[in-house]
Amino acid sequence: MIAKPAFDLVFRNAVTRSSAVPVDIGVADGRIAAIAPQLACEAVEVDLGGRLALPGFVDTHIHLDKACLLGRCGHDHASVADAIRAVAAMKRDFTIEDVYARGAKVIERAITAGTTRMRTHVEIDPRIALRGFEAIKALKRDYAWALDLSLCVFPQEGLTNDPGTDELLVAALNDGAGAIGGCPYVDSDPNAQIARIFDLAQQFDIDVDLHLDFDLDPSWWHMEEVCRQTERRNYHGRVTIGHATKLSALPPERLKAAAARLAAAGVAVTVLPATDLYLMGREATHNAPRGLTAAHRLVADGVLCSVATNNVQNPFTPFGDASLLRMANLYANVAHAGLGEFDTCLDLVTELPARLMNLRDYGIAVGNPADIVVLDTDSGTNAIAELPDVLLGFKRGRKTFERQRPKLFRP
């Protein structure tokens, strides 16, 4: 007699991105132990009824420390500089408790929207010092049961022009920050900032994730310098640029050339639809450019890309629910993605950002953590088209949330 495998939990009738027919997923000790049709076992069962199981959404770029600020600033912010100024004025008063409470609100929305991995940018400068960093470290610890949080520290107000920032950044890196970001376009010496960020990244052996090229003027950009530094330091596959809205202003042949440059250097691009759509194209009185870089086209040309949340309800973006499925749907709609490209649009908030963050244990595969999120639909294409409810989430085999399907009460 053959002993039945010992699973703690089995998902029945799951559709996955890689299997056309529903499969069962067996879980043991928090990890995926088997994937096959009709697994014979006596474990606790969760019947997905042919619904789509994903390994969770991956948000590579969000700002938990400055989320949910709308009630505190009374005017509209129509430019990137206005938004930066508004938050700079408020953040001197941020306390650890305040950042924690606002961040927790967003993390809980993200968890119930199906996000299982996240990289948050954390502002470091003499105004906020390390208070934001301390609060986000506490969030990382307190929500580890549902979400893996990585901290990317960065100088939002500039680095070479802002005395005291460098020392604080080094202190945060010594205290376990997982990546380093930057914002060269606010620095009085952008190339010096880029060089210093790469120095620190190499010193601490961490990845780089910069805010870059955030306007619609393609006559100059910092992208070339970032590609050059990436190659010089052998950092292929470890560098990302966020926004890169200048790329949306390029005609097709120049966009092809830029894509080839990024792909060759191994520099990834993160598109941030909510913020890019809100802040770009404001000068136009009509036929406004939307400033959204076509990530799915860059992917077709070999560039690693992600679509991410960025800001939630603050001067940069007065919207937000931290749902990456909604963001991918918004992206697909605005970027003129066709039905045949919807699968790539789902990749932009799942597989591709996992690669961008160099996550080695992501995906529904034997041996990986049993991170499973269930959508009320039957395919990746329909996930983008229908914007289905996210019904269930599991982190390392433990249920983290559940959403009831709506019920109709017919007369």
Map the footprint of Zn ion across residues 4-33, applying CB under 5 A: none
CB of 257 vs Zn ion, minimal distance in Å: 26
CB of 78 vs Zn ion, minimal distance in Å: 18
Q: Which is nearer to Zn ion, 11 or 278 (CB)?
A: 278
Q: Are 151 and 122 in contact (CB under 8 A)?
A: yes
CB of 63 vs Zn ion, minimal distance in Å: 6
Q: Which is nearer to Zn ion, 180 or 373 (CB)?
A: 180
Q: Which residue is nearest to Zn ion (CB)?
A: 310
Backbone CA torsion sign across 281, 155, 265, 206: negative
Q: Which is nearer to Zn ion, 185 or 198 (CB)?
A: 185
Q: Which is nearer to Zn ion, 182 or 218 (CB)?
A: 182
SS3 annotation, 280-334: CCCCCCCCCCCCCCCHHHHHHCCCCEEECCECCCECCECCCCCCHHHHHHHHHHH
Cα dist from 401 to 114, 160, 343, 346, 364, whole Å: 9, 44, 25, 21, 19
CB of 44 vs Zn ion, minimal distance in Å: 41
Mark residues 266-305: x for contact with Zn ion by CB under 5 A, - for none: ----------------------------------------
Classify residue 83 as left (phi > 0), alpha (psi -120 to 50) or beta.
Answer: alpha
For 282, phi then psi, to 5°, come to -70, -20
Q: Considering all CA atoms of the chain, what is the largest pairwise distance in Å, rounded to the nearest integer?
A: 77
Of 165, 193, 248, 310, the one binding Zn ion (CB under 5 A) is: 310
Q: Determine the size of the site formed for Zn ion (CB under 5 A).
A: 1
Report how far residue 394's alpha carbon sits from residue 398's, in angstroms, rounded to the nearest whole number.
5
CB of 84 vs Zn ion, minimal distance in Å: 11
Q: Which is nearer to Zn ion, 187 or 376 (CB)?
A: 187
Q: Which is nearer to Zn ion, 62 or 372 (CB)?
A: 62
CB of 138 vs Zn ion, minimal distance in Å: 21
- Of the candidates 63, 9, 104, 36, which has an alpha carbon nearest to the alpha carbon of residue 371? 9
- Of the candidates 304, 317, 313, which has an alpha carbon nearest to the alpha carbon of residue 272? 317
Chain residues binding Zn ion by CB under 5 A are 310
